[in-house]
Amino acid sequence: MYSGATRLIVGTSSFFPIPCPLFTLPQSGVYITCTKLRGECYESVSFLGHRLSTDGEFCIESHLFGFGDEVEEDEEVEIVFFQKIRDNQKFSSLSALQEQIHQDIALAREYHSARETIALATSKLR
């Protein structure tokens, strides 16, 4: 299980240092995660890597289950990585990418429903 915290920069191409105190960053890919935002921990699925099917930019993206608000620039986010779903890959079309994202979300929901992931994540996050 990996965890870490950083400030979220929304919609910018800025590069910024992320402190990495004695933990290993996960490999590029899609992961079952829990994400802490505004003091609440949400079940989530997260992508880490270069967006091979779109702009090629490096990013970390999380889909938070049950979160319907907008995330503001410079908000602190913490992510706990539970299990890798798949490696990063390039898709032949945007619709193929969207279909895979739906499959990733379904798999993550199934994983979360079978485990106490929020309790585990909360114990790892400050």
Residue 44: inside a domain: yes
Residue 19: inside a domain: no
Query: Which pLDDT does position 12 carry in this prediction?
Result: 43
Residue 96: inside a domain: yes
What is the rounded CA–CA span in Å between residue 80 and residue 44?
Answer: 9
Residue 18: inside a domain: no
User: CATH number of the domain that 42 lies in?
Assistant: 2.40.30.30
How many distinct structural domains can be found in the chain?
A: 1
pLDDT single digits (tens) 62-101: 999 999 888 887 888 889 899 999 999 999 999 999 999 9
Cβ-contact 9, 88 below 8 angstroms:
no
Domain that holds residue 119: 2-13+24-124
Place of tokens 């930019």: 57
pLDDT single digits (tens) 25-40: 789 999 999 999 999 9
For the question of whether the overall pTM of this predicted structure is more than 0.75, the answer is: yes
Residue 63: inside a domain: yes
Residue 71: inside a domain: yes
Residue 37: inside a domain: yes
Residue 8: inside a domain: yes
Q: Residue-wise over 72-105: b if at least 16 C-beta within 10 A, else e?
A: eeeeebbbbbbeebeeeeeeeeeeebeebbeebb
